[in-house]
Amino acid sequence: MTTTAKTQTEVILKDSLISLLLYVLPIGLMFLSFYITGSKPWLTATTEHLSFKAPAFLEAIFDNLKTWGLPAIMLVVGVIEFSVGLYENKWTKNERTLDIVCFILPRIVLRPMIAYFGLQLLPFILPDAKNIFAWVPFWWGFAIMAVADDLTQYWYHRLHHQLPLLWRFHRTHHSAPYMGMAMTSRQNIIYTAFFSQIYLTVALTYMGLGYPALFVGGIKSLITTAAHSSIKWDKPFYTIRWLNPVGWVMERLISTPATHHAHHADTTDDGIGNYKGNFGNMFFIWDLIFGTGIITRQYPSAYGLKHYKEEEWYAQLLWPIFKSKKEGSELAHNGPVVGDEVEVVEERPVLVPQIAAVTQVEAV
């Protein structure tokens, strides 16, 4: 094992231990509040006696975000982006096909299927665990779900960048030479199928945290979608003086176009791009805690992969089941594991003939 690999392993190990503390933090704070107030909600509360119940219209909005609501929002914003030329004619037929398939397939097939079979299977695996956490007050349930869901995705995302073996499963999301609604769901199907927090959320919903999960999922969808948008909606928070304090807190708490666009940059040489960091999805604060983030309040001039070969959409979606025919591609048969680590050998002029020519002239 090289020194760099050993150091990275040690960092991942250390950060994993910190993460365990972060996972239990909201649970510990919840029980501390119970101790201070002398309350024991697990003895009296039922699913019919929630400490918080959203108005029907608000509940309907969050419920529909998981079905037609968010796709409708993304479609409207995407049309705006496209109409004002924010894709800069980079949305080719191949890119367009990939984005559309990646948008539709997980929403109408993969995630609903995982949730359905998960909730059907859990009663057999954990028959006594159904609704065991239904007594948890809504806001504490919200905090527990938010940390559990997003911190798990942070690690899932980070490991796909830091472990070469996993990189090609996530590469599809970074190959787009643009940012916008069109590529928000752009992922390899296997990366999506093993999306770790999907299974965690299904399990916690079965255990009684379904109502908090509804709101966490809705808010997270809005934040992550907005962070991918090519509309720089966060810029006024950095340029308008009286909004600066809000912007300072916001960019450290959640993902914004400035921080997440940096993660999709095609280079780190400009001091703006940080594709080997800024891993946060809903919360950017994980990057600050683990030292993987940078904040510049600027936006990259180019996105994607410098070594991108515009591989066939089906190869990007279904690798390694289907491989690319593009020679030298990471997705091709016997292709490099990580394309940007392949050394490019520059051709140098051959000087021998020139020296020989000079010698002949001198001889004359």
Report how far residue 116's alpha carbon sits from residue 110's, in angstroms, rounded to the nearest whole number: 10
How much is the pLDDT for 150?
Answer: 95
What is the per-residue pLDDT for 294?
96
Q: What is the pLDDT of residue 155?
A: 96
* CA dist., res. 99 & res. 81, Å (int): 15
Q: Within 13 Å and on the Cβ side, how many CA atoms surround 87?
A: 20
Q: Would you state the structure tokens that stand for residue 195, as one six-digit string?
A: 């999306």
* pLDDT value for 119: 77
Residues in the chain: 364
The pLDDT assigned to 352 comes to 41
Residue 86 has what DSSP assignment? T
Instruction: Report the pLDDT averaged over residues 304-329.
Output: 94
Q: What is the pTM of this model?
A: 0.84
pLDDT of residue 60: 65
Average pLDDT over residues 245-249: 97
At 13 the pLDDT is 93
For residue 347, the model assigns a pLDDT of 45
Confidence of residue 354 (pLDDT cuts 50, 70, 90): very low
Rounded to whole angstroms, the Cα distance separating 310 from 241 reads: 42
Q: Assess whether the previous peptide bond of 320 is cis (omega < 30° from 0).
A: yes
| pLDDT surpassing 50 at residue 145 | yes
Contacts of 152 (CB under 8 A, 6+ apart): 196, 197, 200
In this structure, how many other beta carbons lie within 10 angstroms of the beta carbon of residue 238? 18
Phi and psi torsions of 324, nearest 5°: -80, 150
For 13-51, the pLDDT digits (tens) are 999 999 999 999 999 999 999 999 999 888 875 544 455
pLDDT of residue 361: 35
For residue 71, pLDDT beyond 80: no
- Per DSSP, the residues of 34-61 read HHHHT--HHHH--TTS-S----HHHHHH
Hey, where are the domains in the chain? 12-231+303-341
- In one-letter notation, the amino acid at residue 198 is I
Summarised one tens digit per residue, pLDDT across range 106-130 is: 777 877 788 778 778 888 988 888 8
State how far the Cα of 184 lies from the Cα of 102, in Å rounded to an integer: 9
Mean of the pLDDT values across residues 211-216? Answer: 86
